[in-house]
Chains A and B, each alone.
Chain A
Amino acid sequence: MSCCASAAVLKTAPAPKQGVAVKIGGITVALRTSNEEFCGLLRQRYGHFVEQQATPDFEFDLELSQPFADERLDDDVQVWSDSDTWYFQRGDFYAELDARARRGRMLHLPNPYCVDAVLRILHTLILARSGGFLLHASSAIRQGRGFLFSGISGAGKTTIASLAPPDVTLLTDEVSYVCRENGAYRAYGTPFAGELATLGANQVAPIAALYLLEKAPHNRIEAVSPADAIRALLRNTLFFAHDPALVDQLFKSACQFVERVPVSRLAFVPDARVWEFIH
């Protein structure tokens, strides 16, 4: 099924009557579906990020699809806009969002992770306009302070999360939600999990530090230059839209973050002693 055919289906689909409201980073997205079983899957997937009685900031009508005839599941996500409408597409979903009305529709395979992908894209767009971003990073709260641990796949995001002592609250082991509020940065918990496959805590804390992870024979913290910090941030930020204005905003956001939040390289041995450095 092509992108254009998907759009035609979306325009004729009836409005679903039930759904779940998922609140991440203070933003509530209502996901409406007429399929009771899939609704149950969504409730299970988003757990304590589901709001029982919430006024949504955004609404999506979901429509299940059979596997697309010409689907390419390994396709990269494509995100583009036309006036006030955003379009998100991958091999297993197609979505439209009227940014002004904050309403969208989505055609997708019967898999909650398609919805996950759309939520991630939506939040990157929301955050970009307010100076925040989604970061490939695990994050945690210790003594009321938020810590981010960023790195490429294999750098140790899940490892450091799995080694956290009992006084640490995990926000995510995969995708951190960085919000800029009144000039300060806060990390919110997310349901976007990595290898731990568990939801993060639905909590928030001011960000005290960002650590760039690197496995090493000895634990140590090293200073990094602002340029290296920004380069690492940009490399690990989730962003899908090839929109020059948003890329410009993302660059500014990375610079502002580095000016405000201490960024260091954390070279660590993968055992629990690394947490002696984090406080």
Chain B
Amino acid sequence: MSASATKPLYVATSSAIAARMLGGEMMVMSLRDSTFFTLNEVATVIWRSADGSTALSDIVRHSVCGEFDVDFETAQRDAEELVNRLAEHGILTVSDQPIQQPPTHL
């Protein structure tokens, strides 16, 4: 059972990152351990919507499914996997409560 079926997830970008859009690709670097990520288009949409107050399922439903040809269940599962992976590196915060943290300005 996915997390979205139980509790909504909220995601916020960390303040300890540097990010830049270049050549159509979003690049993110952790300022803690210098880990470098390149986000694909879907991940970039989620990243940009990670304001701490919008539920991940709403981001997926309105932004991801609205822009890409993907069904909600698949997109939600992939989104949860993505945000958890990015959270492991400290560049996203994931919580089952809205996150009172200012988003990173890109």
Task: Establish whether residues B22 and A255, one from each chain, have CB atoms under 8 Å apart when the complex forms.
Answer: yes
Count, chain A residues at interface, CB 8 A: 14
Please determine whether A259 and B22 come into contact, CB atoms closer than 8 angstroms.
yes
In the complex the two chains form, what is the Cα distance from A231 to B18 in whole Å?
Answer: 14
The answer to whether B25 touches A226, judged by C-beta atoms less than 8 angstroms apart, is yes
The A interface, classified by DSSP as helix, strand, loop or mixed, is helix
Question: Does B34 count as interface, using CB distance less than 8 angstroms?
Answer: yes
Q: Give the chain B neighbours of A226 by CB distance below 8 A.
A: 22-23, 25, 27
CB distance A244 to B20 under 8 Å? no
B3 at the interface (CB under 8 A from A): no
Asked whether B23 lies within 8 Å of A227 as measured between CB atoms, the reply is yes
Interface string of B26-41 (1 = CB under 8 A from A): 0101011010101000
Question: Does A82 interact with chain B (Cβ within 8 Å)?
Answer: no
Number of interface residues of B (CB under 8 A): 13
User: How many A-B Cβ pairs are below 8 Å?
Assistant: 38
Whether A269 is near chain B, meaning CB under 8 Å from some CB there, is no
Cβ–Cβ contact B18 & A227, under 8 A: no
Whether A225 sits at the interface, judged by CB under 8 Å, is yes
A251-B20, A259-B22 as given contacts; A227 in contact with B38, CB under 8 Å: yes
Contact B25 A247 (CB under 8 A): no
Chain A residues 195-251 with CB under 8 Å of chain B are 225-227, 230-231, 234, 244, 247-248, 251
- Which B-chain residue is minimally distant from A234 (CB atoms)? B36
CA distance A231 to B23 in the complex (A): 14
A247-B18, A252-B18, A258-B22 are contacts. A227–B34 as well, Cβ < 8 Å?
Answer: no
Contact A255 B27 (CB under 8 A): yes
Name A227's contact: one of B16, B22, B31 (CB within 8 Å). B22
Q: Nearest B residue to A248 by beta-carbon distance?
A: B18
- Chain B residues with Cβ below 8 Å from A251 are 18, 20, 29
**In the complex, chain B residues whose CB is within 8 Å of the CB of A255:** 20, 22, 27
* Complex: chain B residue closest to A247, CB-CB: B31
Interchain nearest-CB distance for A262 vs B (Å): 13
Measured between beta carbons, the chain A residues less than 8 angstroms from B22 are 226-227, 230, 255, 258-259
Give the complex CA separation of A225 and B24 in angstroms: 10
Report A251 CB to chain B, min CB distance, Å. 4
A38 to B: closest C-beta gap in Å: 35
* Contacts known (A251-B20, A252-B18, A255-B20); A234 close to B34, Cβ less than 8 A: yes
Smallest CB-CB separation from A252: which chain B residue?
Answer: B18
CB of B105, distance to nearest CB on chain A (Å) = 13
Closest to A244 in B: B31
Among residues of A, the one whose C-beta sits closest to the C-beta of B29 is: A251
Task: Provide the bound-state CA to CA distance between A255 and B22, in Å.
Answer: 8
What B residues does A230 contact at CB under 8 A? 22, 27, 36
Taking a contact as CB atoms under 8 Å apart, the answer to whether B29 and A247 are in contact is yes
List A245-279 residues whose CB lies under 8 Å from chain B. 247-248, 251-252, 255, 258-259
Residues of A within 8 A of B34 (CB): 234, 247
> Can you report 10 residue pairs joining A to B where beta carbons are below 8 Å apart?
A225-B25, A227-B25, A227-B38, A231-B38, A247-B29, A248-B18, A251-B18, A252-B18, A255-B27, A258-B22
